[in-house]
Amino acid sequence: MDDEWICGRLGEDEPWALGAVNPPVFENSLFTFGSAQELGEAIRNEDERYVYWRGTNPTVDLAQRKLAALERGERAKCFGSGMGAISATISSLVKAGDHVLVLGAVYGPTTQFLRYLEKFGVTHTHVNDLAECDSAIRATTRLLYFESPSYMAYAVVDIAEVTAWARERGLVSVMDNTWSTPIFQKPLTMGVDLVVHSLSKYIGGHSDLVGGVVVGPSRLIRPLALTEYQLYGAAMSPHDAAKVIKGLRTLPVRMPAHQERGLAVAEFLAEHPAVRAVNHPGLPSHPGHDLAKRQMSGFSSLFSLVLDTESRQEVGLFLDNLRHFRIGVSWGGFESLVNAPALSTEESVRATMGIPVGLVRLSVGLEPADTLIKDLGLALEGVGRLA
C-alpha cells in the first residue's frame, strides 16, 4: 500500500460505509448487544470492540487504521488531544521510582507533564546527545523520549543510532513525529518503539480540530488502550475523527506545497542581515541537513529564526509589524502563523530547552511565498536597529 492510497481509500470501500463518498460519522455514545454474554466479551476486549464512545467507535477506528498504516505500525490509538496521547503513552510505560531520559528539546507541555510526574515518584533528565545519555542513564531508566527535528531548535536526531542505543539498554523509545508527518518520515521503520503525533497540526491541516495519536506494536498499544486511554478519558470524538480522515485525503498533496513555500521563506531569511540564524533542516547550511536527507523524504514548513536582538520588546514589535502572518499558537494549517517563546513560554522551560530570547517560530502556510517574504521583510525593517 502506498501513502496516497492509505490516505484516500484505505477502509473507505467496506460494506459498512454503504457506498458513501465520505465515511459515516457514528454519533452514538454506546452500542447494544444481543445477549449478556456478548456484552461481557465485548467489554473484556473494549480496545477493539464497540461498547462505549470512551473506548472506541467505527469512525475513530477508521482514522486509527489509516494512521497505523501510514506509520507502518501494527496499531494506533487516537486521543482527544496531542497531550492526551503523550501523557497516556508516557504513563503507560513508567511507574513510581522509574526514570525517563529526554533527548534534545521537546514540546514544552511534555516537559511540564514530566515535571508533574515527579510527585508520583517518576524522575527525568534532559540530555543533549548520546554521550550525555551514557552519563545520565540509571538502573531505573525505562524510557527514552525525543523529537526529530527537535522542538523550536529543529535539530535532527540520528533515529537509527538513538533507537539502537536504547534497545541495547532495554529502554522503550518514544518519538514525536508531528513535524514531519508520516508522509516525510517513518520512525517505526528506523527502530522507534512508539510514535506520537498532534493531529491538530498538518494531519488535520485546517486548524479545526484538536487530537492526538500513538502508533506502534500491539503489545504496547493494547495495554495503553485498555488502561490509560480509558481512565484518563481523553477520547477522540467521531466528529474529530471524521476531520482527521478528511485531512488525510489531502495530506500527500499539502505537504509538498508546505515544503516549497517553507523553504522559499527560509532561504530569504537566511540571507537577511537582521537574522542571526535560521533553523530549518531543509537548508544546506543546517548542521543536520545531510542526516535529514537520509532519514526523511521531505521537509515541513515549521521552523525558527533568531533575530539579532536580546530585547523581548523588539521581538514583540517584530510580531506586531507582521500583517500577513497571524500571531498565535499551533501550526500546520492553511494560514501562516508566528509565535515567540520568549513572550509566551515559561522561563524555566525555555531555559531547559536552550531557547534564546530572539527566537521566533514561523509556520508557513499555503499562501504565496512572495506574499509571505514581503511581509517578513517589511516587519524586519520596522524594528529599530534590526532595520
What is the set of active-site residues? 54, 107, 176, 201
**Closest-CA residue to 325 (of 259, 257, 381, 373):** 373
β-bridge pairing 359-363 and 337-339 = antiparallel
Q: How, if at all, do strands 212-216 and 194-198 pair?
A: antiparallel
Q: Which DSSP symbol is given to 21?
A: S
- Number of neighbours of residue 301 by Cβ within 10 angstroms: 30
**Cα Rg, the chain, nearest whole Å:** 21
DSSP β-bridge partners for residue 214: 77, 196
Would you say 190 and 71 are in contact if contact means Cβ atoms under 8 Å apart?
no
> How far apart, in whole angstroms, are the C-alpha atoms of residue 152 and residue 133?
21
Pairwise CA distance, residues 326 & 293, whole Å = 30
Cα distance between residue 49 and residue 57, in whole Å: 8
| Position 192, amino acid | V
The number of residues making up the chain comes to 387
